[in-house]
A and B are shown apart, each in its own frame.
Chain A
Amino acid sequence: MSDSTKIGRTLLHTRRRMSDESFITLLVASVAVGLFLFASILVPNFFQLQNMLNLVTNNWAVISLGVGVTFLLVSGNFDLSVGGIVALSGVLAVWFSQSAGGGSALSTGLGFPYWLAVIGALGGALAIGALNALFVVRFRIPSIIVTLGTMMLARGFAQVITQGSQRNTNLPDVFGMLGNLTVFGASVKLPVVLMVILLVIAVFIEKKTVFGRLTYWIGANAVAARLSGIDKDRHVTYLYLFSSAIAGIVGILLASEFKSGYSNRGTLMEFDALVIALLGGVAIAGGFGSVVGMFFGALILAVVTSAATGLVLSPDWQYILKAIAVFVAILTQTWALARRNR
């Protein structure tokens, strides 16, 4: 083969077409921007820098959870336990930190130093993740059932520890630090910064590492992945641990922000995390989707709900708007992909 034909061939084959994934991400991003502009026309004072920032910063918890949930969905698995884990790890962090020997049961904790309490809370979160992995990977029970069960289990533990309400007394001062720390003057809270870092790391893992690619291979065809030498069980286990660790950290930060461990914290967050992933074009069949898409999906949801608030619609509208957004998103994405690949 002469050099010239080789070059010609190289050019021919590397002529790259935008992938479906980038296409969908772009679609989702343009919808997010379009909705924002549209809302700016309808809603007075919507078009402001602070408002744009708020759309992201108010949703740091769900977006962070969305990262783990997106990875799992791409690998072909659900994780509905993240909301429960948020409650559990927050409650654990509080319980471990509360000084021993308080006035009542709910004000008496284990008196651990804060760092140990955080590690303990994270351990609790990882235990739920490990349980997810055990049931999904080892017993081969559908992940939606398993994670519904562990969602109840995690929240159940939180409720038992808080006796169905909350623990917020007898906490060391250091407990409220992490969640309320601000950086860049006083404008951005630490959890938001952590979310940004998490997003950057997640995009890097997804696009640039073998780990990320393994996730797509497993989700696209688990049988072929196994016959290509991929240890699917181990990988899915890692993903569940990863997702539960994120949820654990979110729970610890929220507990710190509110200086309380509340057993109903994070209720429905698992559904919101799933919803933003779906809005962002992640396919529940696996093998398709991206963290960036999920992020823009979160923006769509944020724009829709905050515009509704701005229009003085009753907050009850958010459920209907969420439903319509997902419905339209799913139909549009299916339609756009079918058209593009016709």
Chain B
Amino acid sequence: MMSQSSTLAQPPATRGVRVAHFLRNYYIYFVLVAVVALLSVANLDKFDLFERGNFLNEKSIINILRVSAPLLTLAGAFTLLMVSGYIDLSVGSTMSLSAVIYALLAINGVPFLAAFAITMVAGAGLGAFNGFLVVRLKITPVIATLITLSLFKGMALLLVQDGVSAIKSGGGQKMPGWFNSYGREGTLLNLPMAFWVAVAVTLVLVIAQNRTLLGKYAAATGGNPTAAKLSGINTGKIVILLYVIVGVSAALAGIARSSFMSLGDPLSGDGMELTAILVVLLGGTAFSGGEGRVLRSFVGALIIMALTVGMLTVVPAYYQTLVLGAVLLAAAASNHLISRKETAS
């Protein structure tokens, strides 16, 4: 049966398309290696996060992974949402609000697991509200999540008393001992729980992307919404679910950060939406939807954290915004060139 139509051989994808696709899939790993290599030859003496003069050692790596936990937690869910063609600019505020809620619960004597669970449920609710605005009220995602960016941030600020900048020990109240250990204290491989939760979230989402209906339908919704609807897929439901997942991930990120800093800071997530966009674009996620991988964004997050932390040892902190802005533009441009190549068949 195979031979009878061998004359109708499939015209192979052109070389340009294959190269473009290879680049999209694997370039991020080369970038990671390059960044690590760069940092390991740089002079790292100035910064006490690292062992003197060396980047590739246990203390340095543990330090970087510890501060990376929030971003690593968020990157995967943010990717899946972008794959479906939607965006959430409120992730930073969701993170801040969750951090404040978590800290409030903790300081008022709620035990660890209960505080953890309540905060996650709150995150899910915030995500669902975004989904409601976008899917049911049909407000453009950018505007809807800009509204909630402001709303959630205001709520976080209001939860913290006037005259105090964050929820923290003091004035008769004291953070419980466990509060700090989740984000800081070494467990397995001397890395804190928060990091392992980030890894677990990423694993779950990698599986979700590759093995579940959700992952496939997210790609279909972002790639060709008409085709998805014609195939009987309830795209609205998928999108709401994805917003909920982003909300939960942002809540976990907020918990990680507040635990790391030992306080519930209502501004702790500020600018996270920018970093998240940066990370997923770096991971080759298409802004127009359809294309993107959870694992690549995880690596993208590692690169950004290695870069920002590592950079501190080479240049002063005030170079960060400039470098990240340049990376964002470069990632957007290269992404764009790659997708142009991919479709130019």
User: In the complex they form, do A and B come into direct contact, defined as C-beta atoms under 8 angstroms apart?
Assistant: yes
Binding site for B on A (CB under 8 A): 131, 135, 139-142, 144-146, 148-157, 159-160, 162-164, 263, 271, 274-275, 278, 284-285, 314, 316-324, 326-327, 330-331
Q: Which of A148, A154, A284 has the most CB of B within 10 A?
A: A148
Give B258 Cβ to nearest chain A Cβ, in Å.
18
Residue B157 lies at the interface, judged by CB distance under 8 Å to chain A: yes
Residues of B within 8 A of A145 (CB): 277, 281, 287, 328, 332
Task: Give Cα A155–Cα B324 distance, bound, in whole angstroms.
Answer: 11
* Majority DSSP secondary structure for residues of A touching B: helix
Which chain A residue lies CB-closest to B335? A141
Residue B22 lies at the interface, judged by CB distance under 8 Å to chain A: no
B9-17, B68-76, B144-152, B172-180: which lies at the A interface?
B144-152
Residues of B within 8 A of A149 (CB): 325-326, 328-329, 332
Query: Which residues of B (321-340) have their CB < 8 Å from a CB of A?
Result: 321-326, 328-329, 332-333, 336
A-B contact pairs, 12 of them (CB 8 A): A140-B336, A142-B288, A149-B326, A149-B329, A152-B324, A153-B322, A159-B320, A159-B322, A162-B318, A164-B316, A319-B154, A323-B150
Question: Which 7 A-B pairs rank lowest in CB-CB distance, beginning with the nearest?
Answer: A156-B322, A152-B325, A319-B154, A164-B318, A320-B154, A316-B157, A153-B325
Task: Give Cα A153–Cα B329 distance, bound, in whole angstroms.
Answer: 9
Residues of B within 8 A of A140 (CB): 336
B25-33, B103-111, B135-143, B246-254: which lies at the A interface?
B135-143
Residues of A within 8 A of B158 (CB): 314, 316-317, 320
Q: Is the CB of B151 within 8 A of A323?
A: yes
Question: Between A and B, how many residue pairs show CB distances below 8 Å?
Answer: 118
Q: Knowing A153-B329, A320-B154 touch, does A148 contact B274 (C-beta < 8 A)?
A: yes
Q: Is the CB of B147 within 8 A of A327?
A: yes
Q: Knowing A135-B333, A145-B277 touch, does A320 contact B318 (C-beta < 8 A)?
A: no
Residues of B within 8 A of A326 (CB): 143, 146-147, 150
Binding site for A on B (CB under 8 A): 133, 137, 139-140, 142-143, 146-151, 153-155, 157-158, 162, 274, 277, 281, 287-288, 316-326, 328-329, 332-333, 336
Q: Knowing A148-B328, A149-B325 touch, does A316 contact B154 (C-beta < 8 A)?
A: yes
Q: Knowing A146-B329, A284-B142 touch, does A160 contact B150 (C-beta < 8 A)?
A: no
Q: Is the CB of A322 within 8 A of B281?
A: no
Give B121 Cβ to nearest chain A Cβ, in Å.
21
If A156-B319, A323-B149 are given as contacts, then 13 extra A-B residue pairs at C-beta distance below 8 Å, sorted by A number, are A141-B332, A142-B288, A145-B328, A150-B325, A152-B274, A153-B329, A156-B326, A159-B321, A164-B318, A285-B140, A317-B154, A323-B151, A326-B150
Q: Is the CB of A156 within 8 A of B333?
A: no
Residues of A within 8 A of B288 (CB): 142
Q: Is the CB of B137 within 8 A of A331?
A: yes
Residues of A within 8 A of B324 (CB): 152, 156
Residues of B within 8 A of A327 (CB): 133, 147
Task: Give Cα A268–Cα B316 distance, bound, in whole angstroms.
Answer: 24
